[in-house]
Amino acid sequence: MTRSALARVRLQFDDEASRTKAAASPPPPVTVAQPVKRTVTDWDEFTGRFEAIEEVQVRARVGGFVNSVEFKDGAIVHAGDLLYIIDPRPFEAVASQAQGQLDDARAKAGLAKRELDRGLNLVQTSAVSVQVVDQRRQALQAAYAAETQAEGALKAAQLNVEFTHVLAPITGRVSRHLVTPGNLVQGADSGATLLTSIVSLDPIYIYFDVDEATYRRNSKLWFEGKRPSSRDTSNPVQVALTGERKPSHDGKMDFLDNRLDISTATLRSRAIVPNKDLSILPGQFGRVRIIGSSPYEALLIPDAAIATDQSRKIVFVVKEDNTVEARPVVLGPLDEGLRVIREGLKAEDHVIVDGLQRARVGAKVTPKMAQAPAGDKATAGATP
């Protein structure tokens, strides 16, 4: 026998041995589980930006030289805390002058009152004429008017003295000081100088834009009585900060705008979020989740059990004869780490959750029943 003939015989022998070995090997093992059935609620998710509920630009209300800065840059201040001291001496001098003018006006009013009283007594005996009494009555009224003017001037002067002590109008975190001691600041009458700013932190707003399709769907649910409207109900929201995979803050809806933005076809919405630890700052981004459906019964499986076949999502189901079938499915959102399956599965199906790489459509497998699928809590709140 030639060498080539021997090679062909050896190749045929190897092929037969391989087929015999494959036929003798058992079907590959896989882990299967039945879908979890439970009541879930869909959530809509949007990108939002945090903004302070209160924000104040602190400006000088009187002009003068700054004596001192009484706060630490970036600190938490409370309403009424002292921030700046502007030299009060010029305003105290004006207040003293106004006090003297008020004392003088009161003295003149007292004298006019006594003269009028004497005139009223004398007119009864015709010692003075009625004309003199009328003149004294007019003089008393003028004295009272002068006293009122002096009181107003004194109050204005005292206010200016008070304004030299710049106080925090709200509680919140203060920015840096923009004016250092020794600098001249302008008052409100001539373009008030900006001294610093304060923003409130707890609670805090988050603004986000709802697309028109979501707004129409939620409106339909409201008309059908399946979902309360956020216009008259403080619907709960969940917020995840940048870098977080699941929500870390709870809040409630606070505002919906009265019209859609014609350029973006979105509705400006707002939620209010507690911020006890003051970790959220205005300007930060966050992912906002808001109720998007009424509660309903759903089937859920782990995301690891879902494969992609071109443009379709599929799962592998083990039939009664232990053969594998590819089942197209329609996915819903994640709920506590498990994926909602809207269409394509039944509660009694056995879905391959481990060993997908060993499964072949139409081939037999050795299924092993797993415990009820447990979701990865870290992925709760993600979107498909």
**Domain residue limits, the chain:** 29-37+297-369, 43-52+201-291, 62-87+165-200, 89-163
Is 0.75 topped by the overall pTM? no
User: Which tokens sit at 61?
Assistant: 């209300």
One digit per residue, pLDDT tens: the chain, 384 residues?
A: 555 554 454 545 555 555 555 455 778 888 888 888 888 877 888 999 999 999 999 999 988 999 999 999 999 999 999 999 999 999 989 898 888 888 888 888 888 778 777 777 776 676 667 777 777 778 878 888 888 888 898 888 889 999 999 999 999 999 999 999 999 998 876 688 999 999 999 899 999 999 888 888 888 888 877 778 888 888 889 999 988 888 888 999 889 988 998 888 899 999 999 998 888 999 999 999 888 777 778 888 888 888 887 778 888 888 888 888 888 888 887 777 788 888 888 888 888 888 778 878 888 888 888 765 444 443 333 333
CATH fold of 62-87+165-200: OB fold (Dihydrolipoamide Acetyltransferase, E2P) (2.40.50)
Which CATH class name applies to 29-37+297-369?
mainly beta
The CATH number that domain 89-163 falls under is: 1.10.287
Give the whole-angstrom CA distance, residue 156 versus residue 201: 34
Give the whole-angstrom CA distance, residue 49 versus residue 53: 13
User: Which tokens sit at 355?
Assistant: 């060993």
Give the whole-angstrom CA distance, residue 255 versus residue 232: 9
Overall size of the chain counted in residues: 384
Contacts of 110 (CB under 8 A, 6+ apart): none
Location of structure tokens 């189901």: 317
Phi, psi torsion values for 37, nearest 5 degrees: -110, 120
CATH fold of 43-52+201-291: Elongation Factor Tu (Ef-tu); domain 3 (2.40.30)
User: Which tokens sit at 321?
Assistant: 């004869």
User: Which tokens sit at 183?
Assistant: 């600098």
Give the whole-angstrom CA distance, residue 207 versus residue 273: 11
Q: How far is CA 178 from CA 57, 73, 320, 353, in A?
A: 11, 10, 77, 61
